[in-house]
Chain A
Amino acid sequence: MRRTVRARITAAAGSAVLLLAACGGGGDEPEVGVPANADEVSGTVVFWTYPLGVIDSVNWWQPHVEEFQEEYPDVEVEVVMQSFSNREEALITAIAGGNPPDVVYFNPDFIPQFADQDLLLPLDDLRDDWDSFYDASLASMTWQDTLYGAPLLMQKGVNMCHTDVMEAAGVDCPTTWEELRAAGPAVKDAGYYLTEYSGTSTLNHSFYQYLWMAGGEVLTEDLSAAAFNGPEGVEALEFIQEMVENEWVPLQPISVAEQFEQSQLAQGNVLYHSGENLPHVRSVIDPGKIVTTEPLQHREQVAVGSVGAWSIFDTTSSPEAAQAWVHFLSEADFIEQFIAESGYLPPREDIEGLFADDPQVAEGIDHLDYVRTGVMHPKAREIIDVIRPHIQAALLEGQDAQVALDAAAAEVDALIARG
């Protein structure tokens, strides 16, 4: 009986090992660069895109696929429109199941995570005109001096004020911390909120913004330790605490992830906002009641934003075809068409004259140099999740800002040290 049990355990363990071995990846790294002869390029490219502004249908992509195929007739592009909801879960499930896409739309925080797992194809040699792109767009897609994403768009969160609130409170649209602070009492007396602070969204759009404006950084220059608990971080958190304690911001968003349409901003009860996409704001708030302004400033001027780019998984069975497709998607002609229809901002400096009839959107292009997208670190998301509860403790439970940030820094240091 004992021999039988031992044999069964051995068989089960062996099966498990075989199963895991079968999942083993690896393979030769594909060559980077589009072959000079388009006739040599063939294969199928599985292309994952997402609803980008008003471009939310596979049908929009079809004419562009056909245009691409005029040059690459032997390449099939399978356009798959994914949802932003549960985006990471869908992608990770596809990768773990051995069915990843070939080309996928990524934002900056994805790059270090996937590049660190050796899943992305370097794109430095894909084009010879990368210097036509904004430095900020390329930097956001670069990890350890290697470019992993071909930028498609830049997004700068709007800095805006609601005219009804300005009129009721008798204030101008603030552009500095001092002006924001000065407007607080009048706005509150008028029955409105000064601004909103989201305690559940990514810190890239909340605490980090104030930290950078104060002149601080999240991590040290070598990314080996926390730096946000320095004097700049404390100043930033105390500024936010001041707004909460004075009831200049609504409490609910600090702990609850609100839909934009349900927010106080969307209901027209907030003076100043930064971060949301202007077309999205306009779809909810009367455009005639929106006044845009330059990014908020303290010691530094910082704008919330992001970069969207195309990355290629190195598991692709058609690397040349995938690169040819991404090369096409990063051409100035295509990007200009996309930007004109989507409402985002171009990542290329050589695209000019867009939004001439829409000064509010055009103004965003002038501020692209102030856009900060986040921290480029494989554990960037985990770092945010570690810091966030301590920020909430400071805002909701009145914990001292230095104590809260020191506690968060200790956890972050331990996280980074673990590797």
Chain B
Amino acid sequence: MATVTAPVDQRSTVGPPRRRRSRLTSPGALIAYVFILPYVAFFLLFRILPTLYGIVLSFGDYGLSGTFELLGLDNYQRLFADPLFWNALKVTGLYAAIAIPVSVTVSLAMAQLCNRVLRGMSIYRSIFFLPVVTSPVLSGLIFIWIFSADGPINSLLGTVGLSPGSWLQSSGLVLPALALVSAWMNFGYNMLILLAGMLAIPQEYYEAAQLDGAGPWRRFRSVTLPLLKPALFFVLVLETVKSFQAFDTIYVMTGGGPVRASYTLTFMVYDQGFGYFDFGYASAVGVVLLLITLVFSLIQRRLVGRSA
């Protein structure tokens, strides 16, 4: 029987395996933990803990005097039998269906417009960002005037021969009006994210496409959009969360009306909690909203994020 032995040079190097230090416990990683610890602590304290507390509240009845009575699923049973909830869910869905495409489209268009070398472009980008840092309450008050019967929008419609609209008095027009306000307020932030994504696309791809005879629209469709997917996915998730949580401009502009046409789930949480002191029921609405947002985010990740 032949015996195989390792060559001399290999024998001299063979020994017990050395334990590799985990990257997670390396000195560099530990320093990183120290830097992110304050944010993680705040995140846990002001986001995760209140969320868990809200979930627990949703299973009971919490009185202002501090008493808590466990009710099990009663709040949820009441919720799913409440026409107000289904109306709020419908309004939230409709609003998201209008606001998300409008916001993303406007943001993409503005990012494309800003993606060029032009004198003063940095100033333009700063101006476009101004609505983001403007108070939503102030924006809402101004847009009340803009959408008023004698406001600029109806005046503009009149100059091009179109009849004026009762923007905030009509159940059919109020959500598109609010979606426009949302697009105006958010496009600056989204524009910067998309612009960063566009700037990361190598110019060679555009040059190659140009050489192949692709026009501007074809280059945008075949080069920009596919390579922008990671940024687009991020913006989509942001806009989804924002539209599901829309509250401040609705509170200022319409109060959930007319005829509950802008009464969203977040508005219902506010009314039930701060208006009627029914914190358990309000928390149940909040939990349902959380689950809906989570499901949509996961769907988006599957459809858009996976190929990003």
Among listed A1-9, A125-133, A221-229, A392-400, interface-contacting one: A392-400
Known: A20-B56, A251-B149, A389-B260. A118 touches B255 (CB 8 A): no
**Any A CB within 8 A of the CB of B148:** yes
The residue in chain A whose Cβ has the minimal distance to the Cβ of B52 is A16
**Any B CB within 8 A of the CB of A80:** no
User: Which of A25, A96, A385, A397 is close to B271, meaning CB atoms less than 8 Å apart?
Assistant: A385
Let me know if B275 and A381 touch, CB within 8 A. yes
User: Which of B62, B148, B174, B275 is close to A382, meaning CB atoms less than 8 Å apart?
Assistant: B275
Let me know if B277 and A16 touch, CB within 8 A. no
Known: A26-B65, A114-B64, A199-B257. A252 touches B148 (CB 8 A): yes
In the complex the two chains form, what is the Cα distance from A279 to B242 in whole Å? 41
Tell me what chain B mostly uses at the interface: helix, strand, loop, or mixed.
Answer: loop
Chain A residues with Cβ under 8 A from B279's Cβ? 96
Chain B residues with Cβ under 8 A from A20's Cβ? 56, 60, 62, 68
Among listed B113-121, B164-172, B194-202, interface-contacting one: B164-172
Let me know if A256 and B254 touch, CB within 8 A. yes
In the complex the two chains form, what is the Cα distance from A126 to B258 in whole Å? 45
Let me know if A16 and B168 touch, CB within 8 A. no
The residue in chain A whose Cβ has the minimal distance to the Cβ of B150 is A252
Let me know if A23 and B259 touch, CB within 8 A. no
Query: How far does the Cβ of A187 sit from chain B's closest Cβ, in whole Å?
Result: 18
**Any B CB within 8 A of the CB of A188:** no
User: Which of A23, A88, A98, A256 is close to B168, meaning CB atoms less than 8 Å apart?
Assistant: A256
**Any B CB within 8 A of the CB of A388:** yes
Chain A residues with Cβ under 8 A from B296's Cβ? none
Known: A19-B53, A23-B68. A251 touches B166 (CB 8 A): yes
In the complex the two chains form, what is the Cα distance from A58 to B215 in whole Å? 68
The bracket for how many chain A residues form the interface is 35 or more
Tell me what chain A mostly uses at the interface: helix, strand, loop, or mixed.
Answer: helix
Query: How far does the Cβ of A238 sit from chain B's closest Cβ, in whole Å?
Result: 18
Let me know if B141 and A389 touch, CB within 8 A. no
Query: How far does the Cβ of B141 sit from chain A's closest Cβ, in whole Å?
Result: 7
> Could you tell me which residues of chain A, from 73 to 101, have a CB within 8 Å of some CB in chain B?
88-89, 92, 95-96, 98
User: Which of B64, B67, B144 is close to A256, meaning CB atoms less than 8 Å apart?
Assistant: B144
B159-191 vs A, Cβ < 8 Å mask (1 yes, 0 no): 000000010111100100000000000000000
B47-91 vs A, Cβ < 8 Å mask (1 yes, 0 no): 000001100100010111111100000000000000000000000
Which A residues are within 8 Å of any B CB, using their own CB? 16, 19-21, 23-26, 88-89, 92, 95-96, 98, 113-114, 117-119, 199-200, 250-252, 254-259, 262, 379, 381-382, 385, 388-390, 392-393, 396-397
Q: List the 8 shortest-distance A-B pairs measured between CB atoms, nearest first.
A: A25-B66, A255-B258, A25-B65, A20-B68, A389-B260, A393-B259, A255-B169, A392-B258
